[in-house]
Amino acid sequence: MSTASWLGELNPQQRAAVEFGDGALLIIAGAGTGKTKTLACRVAHLIERGVAPDGILLLTFTRRAAAEMLHRAGQLIDPQLAAQVWGGTFHAIANRLLRTYGRAVGLSPDFTVMDQSDAADVMNLVRSELGLASRERRFPRKETLIAIYSRTVNAQEPLTDVLATRFPAYQRDAADIANVFDAYTRRKTAQQVLDYDDLLLFWEMLCQETDAGRRAADRFAHVLVDEYQDTNAVQARILRALRARVGNICVVGDDAQSIYSFRAAEVRNILDFPNEFPGTQIVTLEQNYRSTQPILAASNAVMEQARQRYTKILWSQRASRQLPQLAHCTDEAGQSAEICRRVLANRERGVALRQQAVLFRASHHSAHLEIELTRRNIPFHKYGGLKFVEAAHVKDLLALLRVLENPHDEISWFRVLLMLDGVGPRTARRIMDDLGVRSTSPGADVAGGDSREPPGSVAPVVAAPESAAPASEASRSPLATLASAPPAVPSAAIDAFAALRGALLDCLAIERAGDPPETDGDRRRSAPTLAVQVERLRRYLEPIFRLRYDNSIIRLRDLEQLERIASGYSSRSRLISDLTLDPPNSTSELAGAPWIDDDYLILSTIHSAKGCEWTAVHVIHASDGNIPSDMALSDDEGLEEERRLFYVALTRAKDQLCVYFPLRYYYHRFGMSDRHTYAQLSRFLTAPVRALFEEVTLPVVEQPLDESAAEAPQALRTRLSSLWRTPPT
């Protein structure tokens, strides 16, 4: 496509943003105003102007967003060129840069990245080692500790302030919490393991304090940042450091769509941007191309009640006589039934399932609907909520891969060893010591607060002795020790441990002491490909899973899927970090692989729906307590963010929008009962807002007693009797 033709498709504001030259540019882009298109065109335009593609850095909120923008840029110019652009999330880019330049800040290139639940496990470990687990007064649980820690570092706010404002219940524990954090950071550095926050912190340090980092920063002639309203203090500092010498920066965002303050995002970042970068040019995009006028009117009405005025008012030329609908249902069952009905009706009319989405505040809100969809054989794909890699069995395999990649990763070793029957925490600890997993000098880490170090020493420690020649490293590696001098294990665990040892060493093609000598001379066996390694590890896990999980078949299928994913990779470290930083978000339990490129309905949390759009959007559970969520109502700011969240949900719709309100909620959270409460309509649906909706009241649905229910007793009898009638095979 020629330059002139695609520039001609932009409106004057978009075009100004695309053609802006050097310096700082702030684009305030309302929902549906062609933000993605503008960024993609700007990237294409920069390249066409002669900027080297690998001198462009595009920071986005998800990998999906980066991929989409670069794909679009590629269509305008040359896909090969667009592919050279550095695109990804802050975390993914940090990971990539630190693999190359990490040594400057004390990181060995094979550091591993752990996700939030791994981090919580580490917290738990240090917590119990410090003897804080069992006391009269309740000490924060591991998830809470991570939340406190993450808020402290991401907001760059003193611990005491964080506790005072967000976790008042634990204010008295400040000193102990500080000890836990000390031990936590020390532990991570010793093992060359980074959590999500570390990726940002190390990146910041890299470009602020090292020559290598400064050179890397200056290589980027242009930096572009998407969803700037959802960046936090550390990310803002990274940008400042990145642009200390080369000042070309372009950020895009919408203060009305800031929905990540729980991750310490600061709307202030976008509002203060012109002060941070003097001479900033501001462009505002206000024409919405996505939604029909009535949908936009309803969305705007929700925002009009916000305390804070926002910087723009959206308008649309897409006229329509169809108002958004507010559907009153008797209960959840009515809601699910109606959605199924409408979704299928839409499909009859030619709207594909993937053009329709159901949005909700919390992941579990879709539980009932999921069951209903499954029952009716309507395929769907769920975004948000429990991720594939968070499932215990996937973590098991990932831990094995991590051990291979970073043999000093104690947490992964721990997980791997505890899988063995007859091995508990104590034995695991001893085995790890025998293997030399702990790379720090003896006595370096201690339980108890006495050996506390001065605050300055928390920061990244020296690179481990790994910088020596690889050969000598190998001889000292725990895996080499595992091959040459396997530690003794309790008799109950001998076989299981041997199996583990065999699996790990096979993956590295290390010969075991006591193996028959290799036949092909003294040439070393070559290391198997990654897919083969994963397959080997899966075979190792198979018998363990059969004993441990009752639904082991489903779980094993997940591992096969992992194997398929792995076959697309050549580097193990790449696979591990991609799985941690950009996890596939479905398990095969429901969204089976068979219809991966088939048509399916989208189910998504509102957070995960950010940046997406669909022809028809269904927003469910619009009751007070769900939207806004009860959990967020402790302060006014929380309420305001819930309002923006609701706004984000509504503005995802192109042609059709329906908001559902089930009146009755049953208490079957923990067990079944007929008791129920009556819900209140979401407080965001005030009279003036409702005036812009068409209200429909749905008839009571006769809850269809599941046909299979009648057959259930017989099925149960058959299954039971098979236990004693069928001979074991």
Instruction: Report the distance separating Cα 375 and Cα 373, nearest Å.
Output: 5
Among 245, 426, 523, 725, binds DNA (CB under 7 A): 426
Give yes or no for residue 253 binding DNA (CB under 7 A).
no
Q: How far is the CB of 322 from DNA (least distance, A)?
A: 29
For DNA, the binding residues in 492-511 under the rule CB under 7 A are: 492
Pairing state between β 614-619 and 653-666: parallel
φ, ψ of residue 266 in degrees (nearest 5): -120, 110
Give the number of C-alpha atoms closer than 13 A to the C-alpha of residue 670, restricted to the C-beta side: 0
3-state helix, strand, coil in the chain (%, to 5): 55, 10, 35
Binding DNA by CB under 7 A: which of 80, 517, 670, 724?
670
Q: Which of residues 348-367 bind DNA (CB under 7 A)?
A: 361-364
Does residue 427 bind DNA (CB under 7 A)? yes
CA proximity to 319, closest of 340, 293, 353, 290:
293
Residue list 261-290, contact with DNA (CB under 7 A): 262-263
- CB closer to DNA, 23 vs 583: 583
Query: 61: closest CA among 23, 35, 79, 97?
Result: 35
490 near DNA (CB under 7 A) = yes
Beta carbon of residue 265, minimum distance to DNA (angstroms, whole number)? 10
Q: Which of 478, 30, 517 lies closest to 287, judged by CA?
A: 30
Of 14-22, 246-254, 575-583, 706-714, the window that binds DNA (rule: CB under 7 A) is 575-583
Among 71, 96, 141, 536, binds DNA (CB under 7 A): 141
Distance CA 140, CA 268 (A): 30
- Establish if 491 lies at the interface with DNA (CB under 7 A): no
Subset of 604-663 contacting DNA (CB under 7 A): 605, 607-608, 629, 631-632
CA distance 325 to 696: 7
Helix (H, G, I), strand (E, B) or coil at 326: strand
Question: Which tokens go with 39?
Answer: 């960024």
- Residue 238 or 692 with smaller CB distance to DNA: 238
- The rounded distance, in Å, linking the Cα atoms of 403 and 505 is 11
- What SS3 state is found at 616? strand
Per-residue binder mask for DNA (CB under 7 A), 79-108, x = binder: ----------xxxx----------------
Hunting for tokens 């709207």 — which residue is that? 351
Q: Does 669 bind DNA (CB under 7 A)?
A: yes
Tell me how far apart the 2 most distant CA atoms of the chain are, in Å: 84
Site for DNA in 183-202 (CB under 7 A): 196
Tokens at 336, concatenated: 């699910």
Return the residue matching tokens 């792995």: 566
Residue 134 binding DNA, by CB under 7 A: yes
Nearer to DNA, 244 or 386 (CB): 386
Cβ(32)–Cβ(289) under 8 Å? Answer: yes
Closest by CA to 536, choosing from 555, 562, 518, 513, is 562
Q: Report the nearest approach of DNA to the CB of residue 197 (Å).
A: 7
How far is Cα 177 from Cα 140, in angstroms, rounded to an integer?
9
Q: Are 682 and 365 a contacting pair, CB within 8 Å?
A: no
125 touches DNA by CB under 7 A: no
Please report whether residue 581 would count as binding DNA according to CB under 7 A: yes
131 binds DNA (CB under 7 A): no
Of 87 and 385, CB closest to DNA:
385
Q: Choose one: 36-44, 48-56, 456-464, 577-585; the region binding DNA (CB under 7 A).
A: 577-585
In the complex, minimum distance from the CB of residue 120 to DNA, in angstroms, rounded to a whole number: 8
Of 124 and 316, which has the nearer Cβ to DNA? 124
Which segment (186-194, 257-265, 654-662, 685-693) binds DNA by CB under 7 A? Answer: 257-265
> Contacts with DNA in 48-77 (CB under 7 A)?
61-62
Contact present, 192 and 11 (Cβ < 8 Å): no
CB 433 → DNA: shortest distance, Å?
11
Number of residues located near DNA, criterion CB under 7 A: 49
Is residue 153 at the binding interface for DNA, with CB under 7 A as the rule? no
Is 306 in a helix, a strand, or coil? coil
User: C-beta of 153: minimal distance to DNA in Å?
Assistant: 11
Judged by beta carbon, residue 22 or residue 637, the one nearer DNA is 637
Give the integer Cα–Cα distance in Å for 646 and 51. 40
Question: Which of 144/686 has CB closer to DNA?
Answer: 144
CA torsion through residues 527, 531, 536, 540, sign: positive
CB of 436 vs DNA, minimal distance in Å: 19
Q: Phi and psi of 666, rounded to 5°?
A: -90, 155
Positions in the binding site for DNA (CB under 7 A) = 61-62, 89-92, 115-116, 124, 133-134, 138, 141-142, 196, 260, 262-263, 361-364, 383-385, 387, 421-428, 430, 490, 492, 581-583, 605, 607-608, 629, 631-632, 669-671
